């Protein structure tokens, strides 16, 4: 595969957006490594588990994003905002995209197999959820929540990868990530209201209007912050976790200040830049909290 083709593939799957879910998965893994244990596992064991979690995340996300592009190729070709993507332009073929999807899915399954039996058994379920999202906007305006859930399951999946079981408290983090991603996807979908009407697709902005969609996204992000506070309390995490929540809340407030019903010109900054900072800073603050908390 040539360098230019690799760049095209990475652009198709928006590889740089892996930063959104991966830090939350790593926090789930760190909590699993530390909670209820006298100390940290051996460095080699820890590195092995974290490496396979990262591989699984990359495989899952690559498969999901490529499947989304395959499912939406007709809509992408008709939408002026997306018609320059690789499949509508013909830079990549649908056959290549299917092959890439299957290889990426296989990578997820192999990584799950390397982690533990439960992770392996649940890997097809994870793929089914990820692939389902690509079709939800054809029949429900709440597809944003489904997308959020696709990323939201990552902390629980990481906990299972480490422990071979699931602590119910991880569902709080799953819900928080679901609302976070769903909320910023609602913001992003405001760009496509007119196209959604023409194409017969469903979305929150189409159903409630841009102003209503922005209000719904704000509520979702407020709930996310409250869930993070509940999670920090439930694990009795040290002060860096609470500082991280304050930082996340401040960045979310700034994100919403950039997007107005009559001005969507800063939507890319709100969607890509701010949410990238939120995810990375969450990992830094909560990773520090896990290190200093006495479990």
| Tokens found for residue 293 | 């908390």
Q: CB of 210 within 8 A of CB of 261?
A: yes
Which fold is adopted by the domain 3-292?
A: Tetracycline Repressor; domain 2 (1.10.357)
For residues 282 and 244, give the distance between their C-alpha atoms in angstroms, rounded to a whole number. Answer: 6
The residues spanned by each domain of the chain are 3-292
Q: What Å distances lie between residue 74 and 29, 80, 89, 113, 270, CA to CA?
A: 38, 12, 11, 35, 27
Beta bridge partners of 260: 263
CA nearest neighbour of 256 among 184, 178, 203: 184
pLDDT of residue 295: 67
Spell out, as residue ranges, where the chain has pLDDT lower than 50.
none
Structure-token pair, residue 104:
């990426």
Q: Which of 185, 196, 195 is nearest to 255 (CA)?
A: 185
Residues 110, 78: Cα–Cα separation, whole Å: 37
Q: What is the pLDDT of residues 153-211, one digit of tens each?
A: 999 999 999 999 999 999 999 999 999 999 999 999 999 999 999 999 999 999 999 99
Complete DSSP assignment for 209-245? HHHHHHHHHHHHHHHHHHHHHHHHHHTT--HHHHHHH
- The HSE-up count of residue 144 (CA atoms within 13 Å, CB side) is 24
What's the rounded Cα separation, in Å, for the pair 160 and 41?
Answer: 16
- pLDDT the model gives residue 44: 81
Would you state the pLDDT for residue 20? 84
Alpha-carbon gap, residue 237 to 23, rounded angstroms:
17
Q: How far apart are CA 129 and CA 136, in angstroms?
A: 11
pTM, two decimal places? 0.94
Question: Would you state the pLDDT for residue 9?
Answer: 80
Distance CA 74, CA 77 (A): 5
263 has which bridge partners? Answer: 260
Length of the chain: 295
CA 196/CA 239 separation, integer angstroms: 44
What's residue 38's pLDDT? 65
Q: What is the pLDDT of residue 1?
A: 65
Q: If DSSP codes are grouped into helix, strand and coil, which group holds residue 201?
A: coil
């Amino acid at each position: 595969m040539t360098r230019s083709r690799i760049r095209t593939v990475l652009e198709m799957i928006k590889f740089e957006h892996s930063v959104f879910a991966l830090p939350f998965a790593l926090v789930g893994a760190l909590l699993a490594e530390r909670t209820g244990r006298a100390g940290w596992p051996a460095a080699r064991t820890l590195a092995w588990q974290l490496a396979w979690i990262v591989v699984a995340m990359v495989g899952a996300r690559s498969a999901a994003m490529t499947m989304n592009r395959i499912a939406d190729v007709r809509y992408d070709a008709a939408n002026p905002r997306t018609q320059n993507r690789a499949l509508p332009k013909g830079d990549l073929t649908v056959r290549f995209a299917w092959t890439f999807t299957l290889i990426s899915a296989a990578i997820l399954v192999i990584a799950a197999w390397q982690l533990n039996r439960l992770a392996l058994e649940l890997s097809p379920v994870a793929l089914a959820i990820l692939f389902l999202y690509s079709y939800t906007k054809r029949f429900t305006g709440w597809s944003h929540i489904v997308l959020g859930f696709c990323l939201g399951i990552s902390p629980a999946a990481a906990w299972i990868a480490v422990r071979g079981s699931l602590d119910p408290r991880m569902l709080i983090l799953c819900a928080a990530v679901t609302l976070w991603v769903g909320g910023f996807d609602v913001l992003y979908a405001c760009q496509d209201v007119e196209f959604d009407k023409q194409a017969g697709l469903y979305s929150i902005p189409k159903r409630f209007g841009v102003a209503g969609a922005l209000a719904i996204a704000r509520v979702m992000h407020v709930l996310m912050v409250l869930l993070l506070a509940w999670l920090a309390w439930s694990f009795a995490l040290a002060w860096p976790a609470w500082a991280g929540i304050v930082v996340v809340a401040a960045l979310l407030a700034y994100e919403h200040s950039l997007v107005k019903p009559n001005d969507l010109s800063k939507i890319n900054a709100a969607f890509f830049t701010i949410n990238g900072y939120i995810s990375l800073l969450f990992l830094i603050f909560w990773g520090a909290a896990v290190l200093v908390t006495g479990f």
